Structure 1
Amino acid sequence: MSAPTVHLPPEAHPLDPARWRALAVLLLALFMVLLDTSIVTNGLATLQRDLGASSAQVQFVLTGYAVGYGVLLITGGRLGDLYGRRRLFLLGLAAFTLTSALCGLAWSPLTLIAFRVLQGLAAALLFPQVASFIQVLFPGPERARAFGLQGTIIGLGIIAGPLLGGLLIDANLFGSLWRPIFLVNVPIGLLALLWAARVLPESKSEQARGLDVPGVALLSLALVLLIYPVIEGRDQGWPIWLLTMLALSVVTLGVFVAYQRRLMARGKTPLVQLGMFSDRSFAVGALIAFVFQSSVLSYFVAMSLFFQAGLGYGPTQAALLLISYQFAIVVASLLSARLSARLGRSILLLGTALLMVGLMGILLTLNATVLNYQGYELIPALIVSGLGFGFVIGPLQTVILSRINPANAGSASGVLATVQQVGSALGVAIIGVLLFSHLGTSADTVGAKLQPGLTQTLRATKLPASAVEGITAGFTACVHDRFNQADLNVVPVSCQPSGAALPANLVKPVGTALTAAAIEVRREAFLSALLFTLRFQLAAYALCFGLVFLLPGNARVMVRPVTAQKELTR
């Protein structure tokens, strides 16, 4: 039975500052969830060594969370509409805190994978409630400001994860190695849970009339069939069974849409109100969010690989190189609400234009500095990119959800979050295919380019010609095998010592020459691959820029204060 509609209690009145306290705890929980999507990346190598995990199991530590998170997002939003957003938020937050503790205490690779799946499911319960609460707690002008703050937290969560992960792992508190990257969520989660229980009002949709269980099953199946092969395809070599899963995901999604239409025709409540897509702001905005999100996480994956695998930087050092991006996001997100009220959709044009300019600056800088890159050279371009990101992420949420009936806020937020999650997974998969396919070709080219110099260096050591020829041929074979395999951490047979004895006085100079050549190949190959893949991000931002023109002219937040108030009950 639906909760009765009542007037807002004093602490939830639109003019009362309690709604900002509620937003603070919502954003704290949001930060914790977003932090967990990126913090793990810096701990994978340490985790693999400590638990004795295989490369495939380490991949599942990441993908298990992503799959669990992606499949339940829309359902999580729908459950909030139906049973109460406060209730679902508290349940998701408690479950996320518990599963974070279990991840930190995991005793084997399989238990960690299982707990990560559960952690993703918990995140999917609480994440959609954040946007839903913003939608019903804040009137139009304030809603833009609230979504701007949400954009700030999204940016901080994306950037702070690798940095915090690197610091915690390097600190090795009490010999705990990788475990603090999960256990850090426990005190934050408990604080947020106690705080949320005090300040969050209950909120639900009075029009919700039951959960569409078949719809949940169909959509979850479609997303699993899509996300799993997208994430695992490159490492598995895209076998037929994964391609079949992708095809089946499209078929299953079609069945889901047909079923939702059938329910609507019969006057029943579907999981997703397909009518939302008839609103141009939501439909075009969701497409922009999909394309935009496909370029965000994949950008950091590519940059992290370049800094760590290519240049040999440590996790903390690599994360610090992007700190200027983080500060720019904070500044832009705080300014975005005020600017979006004046500029309307034009702020999205400004943001995507700055992203393109910043990314072109990164491409030009890396080309100019070539292999003498020190880190500070990218700061101006990163600041421009960060400003662009901040001017997009908050206002875009406002534009997408501005004309959605608050009764459907949970469903709309869940759909939007799912679109973004799928976009991230596809973006990372595309970047993986582009970067690693180009990496092998680049390494072969660089290896061939360095071979004459290596030959000359070896000859200078007075090695016999036959020995020089054998060593250079072995070096070329090692380069090819090393950079054309799925797991770069595996040392191929061609790169292992051959056992051929060298004169004692030549072991060091020969080893030094081979090490220098190997470092040069790695740096040049990763630089070439990065420059190649960053063009994907540039194309994505250009597409977003063009799509903004399809939004309703000068789109701004539409205010529905009375309807929003009726959504809040005690």
Structure 2
Amino acid sequence: MTAENVLAPTPAAAYRWRWPALTALLLGEAMNLLDATIVQVAAPAIHADLGGSVSDIQWFTTAYTLPFAVLLITGGRLGDIAGRRRLFVIGVTGFMLASAACALAPSVGALIAFRVVQGAAAAVIIPQTIGLIKTMFAGDEMSKALGSIGPVMGLAAVCGPVLGGVLTHADLFGSSWRATFLVNVPVSLVVLGLARKLPENRAPKRPTLDLTGTLLAALGVGLVVHPLIGADITAMSAGSWAAIVAGLLLMAVFAVHQRRMAAAGRSPLVEPSLFAHRGFPAALVTSATFFAVTNGLMTVIVLQLQLGLGTDVLKAGLTLAPWSVGLAVASWAAGAHLVRRHGHRMMSLGLAVLLVGELAAIAVYHQADPTSYPTPLLLALGMVGLGVGFFSPAFFTIALKPLKPQEIGSAAGLLNAVQQLGATLGVAVLGSVYLDGAGSGGPSAALHAVQVAFWVAVGLVVVSFVTSRPMTGKDAPEGAGVHHDPGVHRAPSQPGP
């Protein structure tokens, strides 16, 4: 979906139901993030109930984020073609039915399959939000409507881990972890009720679907990610490496296919002109590594608490609360004030604070008793959250600022897709580092494994700092005049997300 494909906004006074309709869109966005973080906290309890391999814990998240990442741009195109309101309703309905199926899943395989459907449904929901907001609002009201997305997602980020722990621990009517999926059903019904107030809207010039490109991207990413789930990264088989190489080759074929589509005057998934801006490829790499850190570490922390220490799911959820609160506070401060004043320096500040938080967590783990809850970890995780919150608004602002208006929609969709891909890889790689190191070696091995995973995350933050430097060159915005577009985002803690 590109900026030029959005119909002219309805004058503010002409659409009576714009605020109830906005509520539907915001709830749809928040539901997506809540589901991801709730399930992340509940995943060890799901494994304990359904059994299967311990690596299935990673699949509970990855099976959601992978289709979400791959289908996100296609979901936006479908809205352009068939109507954004229609696709939004279809996506929410599919998400609700898939959530109910997840809650009733009798086995690990069934749950993972239904999570794939959930991720695909989310990829249909999310891209419709901005186009519909721009249809219903104009002027200052549109700015206020777009600005409401950030606080709502921040609140969802704060509530998600805690709600996941509370719902699973409460074991309402014997539902245990199944309540974390069932909660989506009443929320979806409210969204569908309010969605009747949404106006229909589609692109005046309808793009074509790039089904070949979608298939190439899905196969390429799948071949790269699949061998990493539950793998010993240092001792993978030749077959696993062959699959990763095949996946990378398919992604190279995808890039060639996109150029040919553009040269033929058709609608590629990715606009090749984006890569004429030297900072944009750097932004894609930075997005992948940064969100690999945030989502991978959240998984590792939950695994260490529940599998390594044997704490209950409620304490695991509450442990993540300082991270979520720090993220929400810093994200608001950066988006509302700091990015406008300090520009790209907020990216460096955010990465520095994140690095300090990671090193503090490593120090806490190094001094901790393998069998005791590390209370000082809460302060370190609060610092991590602050770093994530400072970085994210500045990152998306700097990444999109140099682009032409007709490139913004495609760029935002690609950045969001790469963010989800980074989240998927983070859960796969950092989760595997932890699980391989912990093995069956008891609390001491688990404590050492979580430190190794954090050191890997430190390395990824350093990589993010290096790859973000081209974004701060001569075409990057500096200080005053930089404004955060709250309509282009993904929540930093989302593994999806």
> Same fold per TM (> 0.5)?
yes
Aligned partner letter, 1:104: A
* Aligned-pair Cα RMSD in Å: 3.6
Equivalents in 2 of 1:368, 1:543: separation in Å?
Answer: 27
SS in 1 for 2:196: helix
Aligned partner letter, 2:82: Y
Instruction: Give the share of equivalent positions with the same residue, in percent.
Output: 35
Offset of residue 184 of structure 1: 0.3
Change (3 A) 1:202 1:433: same
Q: Does 1:427 align with 2:426?
A: yes
TM-score scaled by structure 2?
0.83
Q: Please say which of residues 89-98 and 136-145 is displaced more in the overlay.
A: 136-145
Residue in 2 that maps onto 1:554? 477
Offset of residue 41 of structure 1: 3.6
Change (3 A) 1:131 1:231: farther
Q: Please say which of residues 50-59 and 207-216 is displaced more in the overlay.
A: 50-59
Equivalents in 2 of 1:265, 1:340: separation in Å?
Answer: 37
1:282–1:400 Cα contact (<8 Å) kept: yes
Change (3 A) 1:393 1:21: farther
Equivalents in 1 of 2:306, 2:462: separation in Å?
Answer: 28
**Which residue of 314, 317, 320 maps to 1:316?**
314
Change (3 A) 1:275 1:138: farther
Equivalents in 2 of 1:30, 1:410: separation in Å?
Answer: 17
Offset of residue 92 of structure 1: 1.3
Residue in 2 that maps onto 1:122? 121
Q: Please say which of residues 49-58 and 332-341 is displaced more in the overlay.
A: 49-58
Residue in 1 that maps onto 2:288? 290
Q: Please say which of residues 334-343 and 57-66 is displaced more in the overlay.
A: 57-66
Equivalents in 1 of 2:462, 2:139: separation in Å?
Answer: 29
Offset of residue 122 of structure 1: 0.5
Offset of residue 186 of structure 1: 0.7
Post-superposition Cα deviations, 1:210-234, rounded to whole Å, max 9, x if no partner, equal 2122222222222222232233544
**Which residues of 2 match residues 259-338 of structure 1 at below 5 A?**
259-337=257-335, 338=337
Q: Which runs of 5+ in 1 are unaligned?
A: 441-481, 484-521, 561-570
Q: Does 1:11 align with 2:12?
A: yes
Q: Does 1:544 align with 2:451?
A: no
Residue in 2 that maps onto 1:530? 450
Aligned partner letter, 1:80: G
Change (3 A) 1:276 1:17: farther
TM-score scaled by structure 1?
0.73
Offset of residue 274 of structure 1: 1.6
* Residue correspondences, number: 476
Offset of residue 332 of structure 1: 1.4
Aligned partner letter, 2:427: V
Aligned partner letter, 1:69: F
**Which residues of 2 match residues 207-218 of structure 1 at below 5 A?**
207-218=205-216
1:81–1:407 Cα contact (<8 Å) kept: no
Offset of residue 60 of structure 1: 4.6
Equivalents in 1 of 2:340, 2:142: separation in Å?
Answer: 11
Offset of residue 204 of structure 1: 4.1
SS in 2 for 1:313: coil
Equivalents in 2 of 1:232, 1:134: separation in Å?
Answer: 41
Q: Please say which of residues 424-433 and 202-211 is displaced more in the overlay.
A: 202-211
Offset of residue 93 of structure 1: 1.6
Offset of residue 261 of structure 1: 1.0
Equivalents in 1 of 2:114, 2:174: separation in Å?
Answer: 22
Offset of residue 526 of structure 1: 2.3
1:12–1:18 Cα contact (<8 Å) kept: no
Equivalents in 1 of 2:276, 2:150: separation in Å?
Answer: 26
Change (3 A) 1:307 1:74: same
Equivalents in 1 of 2:134, 2:48: separation in Å?
Answer: 45
Residue in 1 that maps onto 2:488? none
Aligned partner letter, 2:360: G
Equivalents in 1 of 2:32, 2:245: separation in Å?
Answer: 31
Offset of residue 203 of structure 1: 4.7
**Which residues of 2 match residues 121-520 of structure 1 at below 5 A?**
121-130=120-129, 150=149, 157=156, 160-198=159-197, 200-234=198-232, 238-337=236-335, 338-370=337-369, 374-405=373-404, 407-439=406-438, 482-483=440-441
Change (3 A) 1:285 1:148: farther
1:148–1:333 Cα contact (<8 Å) kept: no
Equivalents in 2 of 1:169, 1:258: separation in Å?
Answer: 47
Change (3 A) 1:212 1:39: same
